[in-house]
């Protein structure tokens, strides 16, 4: 019976069909998905903080309204993703506890500070741009609930990227001080955005090997380096339009590869951020824990209401 169930999983994967929660799946496949989806969900809700910090300081009512909507979208993405993870038999309370205790990761990118208003532009343009590049292929992920969640998430992310581009566009057409502020934000966010794609596929700074297995299972469709390369090629064109400089002296078009060459990523910085030594790691987790504790009464009230409702229906 077990062999039969395993065969049907392999058949579905080979035929590029979706695996659904009721289907049999190898334990390692389930664990990989829980790890990735939880990390993704945590990134969405921790990712509310860097821009959330600018809601009260947005330069106009229009910018404030857009930013509030964007940060709310991120909360929504987190919720879809926790729901997708729950279809794999885990509980969102447990996942949040693991985040709070540092037992599960969230994206390195959210451990950098947002120093000026232009950072909201750079995050939208670069960070959400990188997120789209990574997440569009996840719409074809072999696990149905994750793939379906990604469709809406990607639509919203592309709106987020455009709003970031538009913030920078406006600043680049402003005063010299505004142009300088936009360039400074791009200088600070460029390299961390490249790190979002994760370690290299091979060589010294290589990934610990999730990629090959995840690609064989149809979870990942492209390797970290392939997506990073596509991102660089796309951003060079957009930077030209914006009039910002990409802070990489080694960036140049490679006629032979028909792609851009770019400089070496500082993986020691990536490792330090993952180990908890980024500029904002402690602040992000402390803020998250505080928000969770402050929200305890809401969860309790919602639960009490649900129980009351359930009891009434049974009468
Ligand atoms: N930040 C933190 N950790 C990272 C990052 C990153 N930018 N990139 C890789 N890692 C971790 C991996 O989680 C893995 O750690 P683990 O073994 O302890 O779980 C390790 O580094 C090695 O990396 P890979 O072998 O490449 O791991 P994986 O196959 O999971 O690929 C990737 C990493 C590309 C991030 C993948 O998990 C993914 O596509 N996730 C979904 C997208 C996502 O999480 N986006 C979040 C940021 S975008 C946003 O929220 C707006």
Is the pLDDT at 4 greater than 80, yes or no? no
* Ligand 1 binding pocket mutation candidate from 103, 163, 210, 211 (most atoms within 8 A of CB): 210
pLDDT for 6 equals: 77
Give 260 Cα–ligand 1 centroid separation in angstroms: 23
The span from the CA of 70 to the CA of 89, in Å, is 30
Per-residue pLDDT tens over the stretch 279-298: 999 999 999 999 999 999 99
Candidates 185, 190, 225, 187; CA nearest to 205 is 225
pLDDT for 35 equals: 97
Say yes or no: ipTM exceeds 0.85: yes
Ligand 1 in reach of 87 Cβ (< 6 A): no
Ligand 1 in reach of 139 Cβ (< 6 A): no
Is the pLDDT at 74 greater than 70, yes or no? yes
Give me the sign of the Cα torsion angle 160, 161, 167, 170: negative
Top pLDDT among 195 and 313 is at 195
CA angle 81, 147, 190 (to 5 degrees): 70
The span from the CA of 144 to the CA of 21, in Å, is 8
Residues 6+ apart with CB under 8 A from 130: 109, 193, 194, 196, 197, 231
DSSP 3-state assignment of 254? Answer: strand
Which pLDDT band holds residue 7 (cuts at 50, 70, 90)? confident
The 10 Å CB-count burial string (b at 16+, else e) for 63-79 is beebbeebbebbeebbe
Q: Which of 89-93, 157-161, 202-206, 208-212 has the lowest mean pLDDT?
A: 202-206
The CB density around residue 193, as the number of other CB atoms within 10 Å, is 24
Contact in structure between 193 and 126 (CB atoms under 8 Å): yes
Per-residue pLDDT tens over the stretch 148-174: 999 999 999 999 999 999 999 999 999
- What is the β-pairing status of strands 259-261 and 252-254? antiparallel
Residues 6+ apart with CB under 8 A from 69: none
Q: What is the mean pLDDT of residues 88-116?
A: 97
pLDDT for 208 equals: 67
Per-residue pLDDT tens over the stretch 235-266: 999 999 999 999 999 999 999 999 999 999 99
Contact in structure between 258 and 164 (CB atoms under 8 Å): no
Return phi, psi of residue 260, to 5°: -85, 140
pLDDT for 3 equals: 77
In this prediction, what percent of the chain has a pLDDT beyond 70? 99
Give 210 Cα–ligand 1 centroid separation in angstroms: 9
Q: What is the mean pLDDT of residues 63-92?
A: 98
Is the pLDDT at 228 greater than 70, yes or no? yes
Q: What ligand 1 atom has the least distance to the C-alpha of 157?
A: 51
């Amino acid at each position: 019976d077990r062999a039969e169930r395993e065969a049907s999983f392999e058949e579905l994967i080979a035929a590029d069909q979706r695996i659904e929660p009721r289907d049999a799946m190898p334990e390692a496949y389930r664990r990989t998905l829980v790890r990735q989806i939880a990390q993704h969900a945590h990134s969405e809700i921790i990712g509310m903080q860097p821009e959330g910090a600018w809601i009260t300081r947005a330069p106009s009512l229009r910018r404030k309204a857009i930013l509030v909507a964007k940060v709310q979208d991120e909360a929504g993405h987190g919720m879809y993703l926790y729901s997708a993870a729950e279809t794999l038999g885990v509980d969102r309370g447990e996942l949040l506890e693991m985040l709070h205790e540092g037992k599960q990761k969230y994206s390195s990118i959210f451990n950098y500070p947002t120093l000026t208003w232009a950072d909201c532009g750079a995050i939208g343009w670069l960070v959400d741009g990188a997120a789209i590049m990574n997440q569009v292929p996840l719409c074809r992920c072999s696990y149905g609930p994750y793939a379906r969640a990604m469709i809406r998430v990607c639509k919203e992310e592309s709106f987020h990227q455009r709003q970031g581009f538009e913030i920078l566009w406006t600043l680049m057409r402003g005063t010299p001080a505004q142009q300088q502020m936009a360039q400074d934000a791009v200088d600070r966010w460029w390299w961390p955005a490249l790190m979002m794609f994760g370690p290299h596929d091979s060589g010294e700074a290589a990934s610990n090997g999730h990629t090959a297995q995840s690609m064989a299972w149809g979870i990942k469709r492209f390797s970290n380096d392939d997506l990073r390369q596509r991102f660089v090629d796309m951003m060079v064109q957009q930077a030209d339009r914006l009039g910002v400089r990409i802070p990489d002296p080694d960036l140049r078009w490679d006629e032979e590869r028909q792609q851009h060459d770019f400089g070496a990523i500082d993986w020691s910085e990536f490792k330090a951020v993952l180990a908890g030594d980024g500029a904002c790691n402690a602040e992000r987790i402390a803020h998250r824990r505080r928000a969770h504790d402050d929200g305890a009464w809401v969860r309790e009230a919602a639960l009490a209401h649900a129980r009351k409702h359930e009891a009434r229906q049974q009468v």
